[in-house]
Amino acid sequence: MSKLKVGDKAPKFKLIDKDGEEHGVGLDKSDYLVLFFYPKDNTPGCTLEAQGFSALLKDFTRRKAKVIGISGGDQKTKDKFCAKYDLKVALVSDTDFSVAKAYGVFGDKKFMGRVYKGIYRSTFIVDKSGKIAHIFDDVKPDGHAEEVLGVLKGL
């Protein structure tokens, strides 16, 4: 669960994608930024979510929205992930999880009785003024891109 609320100023950041290009809040002139935080490159749910956003990228662009996927890993893991699944969406490396922590989407997770630290699957829509317009917590990967696009159409 994010500690941020709709109407809050979105924490600014600069992260780089597989090509070394910088992305982040305050760097883009789009009307909206869609920031989808996902746990890990090349895992089934994360692949499904990234493919969904890639498939609808033109629809997001028509709505003047830039989509940025954020997770750990590095430029190499992002490059392999994009190449393997022909992903078109910008994926950036939050190697120290500082951005995920700033957005309140990093912490304890449980899997098969084991507790570990990781990113919670969450999405934020940030408007042109840098304020959070919508938050999706506890995201289910299948159909999430369509869900975000639907909310974006209503903003």
Six-digit token pair at 127?
Answer: 């408007």
What are the structural domains, with CATH classification, of the chain?
15-154 (3.40.30.10)
Q: How confident is the model at residue 117 (pLDDT cuts 50, 70, 90)?
A: very high
The dihedrals phi and psi of 9, each to the nearest 5 degrees, come to -70, 130
The DSSP secondary-structure symbol of 72 reads S
Q: What is the pTM of this model?
A: 0.94
Mean residue pLDDT of the chain comes to 94
**Predicted local distance difference test score (pLDDT) of residue 122:** 97
Mean pLDDT of 87-97: 96
More confident of the two residues 3 and 1? 3
**Predicted local distance difference test score (pLDDT) of residue 94:** 96
Nearest to 50, CA basis, from 103, 121, 2: 121
Mean pLDDT of 95-100: 96
Which three-class secondary structure state does DSSP give residue 87?
Answer: coil
Mention every residue, 6+ apart, whose C-beta is less than 8 A from residue 99.
Answer: 11, 13, 15, 70
Q: Annotated active-site positions, please? A: 46
**Predicted local distance difference test score (pLDDT) of residue 1:** 58
